[in-house]
Amino acid sequence: MGFFPYLTFICMLNFHLFQTIASDTPDGSTLQTYIVHVDGPDGLPNRLDDLDSWYDTFLSTFTAASGERRRMIYSYHNVFKGFAARLSADELKAMENKVGFVSAHPERKLSLHTTHSPNFLGLNQNMGFWNESNYGKGVIIGVLDTGIFPDHPSFSDKGMPPPPAKWKGKCDFNVTTKCNNKLIGARYFNSFDGPIDDNGHGTHTASTAAGNFVRGANVFGNANGTAVGIAPLAHLAIYKVCSVSCSESDILAAMDAAIDDGVDILSLSLGGFANNFYDDSIALGAYSAMEKVVVQ
């Protein structure tokens, strides 16, 4: 029999390597995007313009004459010294002999797997378990994390019914911010002066768990679509217990309060305690919560 002392929403970015993408030049040679690392033997130029000009010198000999698309795709200043550029195999060979060249590798295409969690769980739109579960309608999810950005569109209460009558939680935002039928509670514990998220992690986990449907979500026009949490009709009760780290005493106080408040599910996306359950106060708190019929 499976026993899950607590449930965590863990967001993982699993990088997958795909084929690199090549394109052809008018003269028939194949161009490929390379990530090139460089370093100056006598130190690097200080000014960004000078750095960019120096990067350009790695390309100039074989790209100056042609009327082709620009070969330099990005010049990097902070992640490392180097650039991304479209090169043929011969051009790369020539570049390897230049003073300052360190290394180059063909660009890899990475894919994010975060948004595939619903597929992994076998949840499909308009049919099957996701639909039959009623999208979490009537369920209260308590999120112990870094707090919340209450104005985020994922926490709109459009289409949300009022919280169940059993709800006894509090909304401790300041006067200008109110709870709504999605965000039904917001509390904070020692060493914080409000439930506002100062980090982003709590907003991320809360919207992953129960974010409302947000149409037209995109990043600079990419991946335009509908963003939605796993349980878009569930209510959210926020317990701020973390900023960059989370104190055990605050976590336990929040779990304690959440049980009183009437949450149905606790979501904790934090860890670091010992492996042994007997040494792990979250596991112990979760066990008590489970005894009080809070699933975690």
Ligand X SMILES: *[C@@H]1O[C@H](CO)[C@@H](O)[C@H](O)[C@H]1NC(C)=O
Question: Which stretches of the chain bind ligand X, using CB under 6 A?
Answer: 126-127, 131-132, 134, 150, 174, 176-177, 196, 216, 218, 221, 224
Nearer to ligand X, 49 or 132 (CB): 132
Nearer to ligand X, 91 or 197 (CB): 197
Count other C-beta atoms under 10 Å from residue 271's C-beta: 11
Do the Cβ atoms of 256 and 190 come closer than 8 Å? Answer: no
Place of tokens 């289409």: 159
Do the Cβ atoms of 296 and 268 come closer than 8 Å? Answer: yes
Nearer to ligand X, 209 or 214 (CB): 214
Do the Cβ atoms of 137 and 234 come closer than 8 Å? Answer: yes
Query: Which token pair is 278?
Result: 């007997």
- Give CA–CA dist 241/254, Å, rounded: 7
Taking the complex as a whole, the smallest distance from the CB of residue 160 to ligand X amounts, in Å, to 16
- List the beta bridge partners of residue 246: 242
Taking the complex as a whole, the smallest distance from the CB of residue 128 to ligand X amounts, in Å, to 7
Give Cα separations from 62 to 19, 34, 70, 86, 254 (angstroms). 26, 15, 12, 11, 63
Phi, psi of 34 (to 5 degrees): -115, 145
Nearer to ligand X, 179 or 251 (CB): 179
Nearer to ligand X, 23 or 125 (CB): 125
Nearer to ligand X, 32 or 199 (CB): 199
Q: Greatest CA span in the chain, whole angstroms?
A: 75
